[in-house]
């Protein structure tokens, strides 16, 4: 089924590529959270997606949002990917695809891990769900538009 717009985001706790632990509740009442699930480190479309979030990262943080990438790779793989592409945001290690399962991120073409981005407001409600396996740059654009709309509607 999956998590959709209007649903409460599932709580989670996961390790980042630098060994820190992040919980969704860390941002509750403080920041909008942009979670982007991507299939694999250092593949062409995933790299374009991560770099588009990197290039717009200051826009996200200026609007009061935190960007977090999620994929199944190991800590070492994520470290290498983040370092190589100068990614300023955390990459969560999705051991056993537990986060992907909790959010109901579907497989694409029946076998590839799906590419889905969620924008979660400060109360933990999903305000945007965007899925496109090949529209890598579109994920960032859709998320940034939603974040700016949330900030404008809340008067912050």
| Domain-embedded: residue 2 | no
Closest CA to 27 of 89, 75, 104: 89
> Is residue 35 helix, strand or coil?
strand
Residue 6 lies in a domain: no
Active site residue 146: no
Q: Which domain holds residue 50?
A: 13-151
Each residue's pLDDT, cut to its tens digit, for the chain (156 residues) gives 689 999 999 999 999 999 999 999 999 999 999 999 999 999 999 999 999 999 999 999 999 999 999 999 899 999 999 999 999 999 999 999 999 999 999 887 677 788 999 999 999 999 999 988 878 788 899 999 999 998 888 655
From the candidates 46, 87, 91, 147, which is the catalytic residue?
46
For residue 117, being part of any structural domain is answered with yes
Please report whether residue 58 resides in a domain. yes
Please tell me the total count of domains within the chain.
1
Give the Cα separation of 138 and 22 in Å (integer): 26
Q: Can you give the pTM of this predicted structure?
A: 0.93
Query: What does the buried/exposed string (b/e) look like for 95-113 if buried means 16 or more CB atoms within 10 Å of the residue's CB?
Result: eeeebbeebebeebeeeeb
User: 76 lies in a domain?
Assistant: yes
Domain annotation covers residue 73: yes
């Amino acid at each position: 089924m999956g998590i959709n717009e209007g649903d409460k985001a599932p709580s989670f706790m996961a390790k980042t590529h630098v060994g820190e632990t992040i919980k969704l509740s860390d941002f509750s009442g403080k920041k909008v959270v942009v979670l982007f699930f991507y299939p694999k480190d250092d593949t062409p479309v995933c790299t374009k997606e991560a770099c588009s979030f990197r290039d717009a990262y200051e826009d996200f943080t200026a609007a009061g949002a935190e960007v977090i990438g999620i994929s199944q790779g190991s800590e070492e793989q994520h470290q290498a990917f983040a370092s190589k592409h100068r990614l300023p945001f955390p990459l969560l290690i999705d051991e056993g695809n537990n986060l992907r399962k909790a959010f109901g991120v579907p497989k694409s073409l029946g076998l590839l891990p799906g590419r889905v981005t969620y924008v979660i407001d400060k109360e933990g409600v999903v305000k945007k769900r965007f899925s496109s396996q090949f529209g890598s740059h579109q994920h960032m654009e859709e998320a940034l538009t939603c974040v700016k709309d949330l900030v404008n509607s809340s008067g912050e």
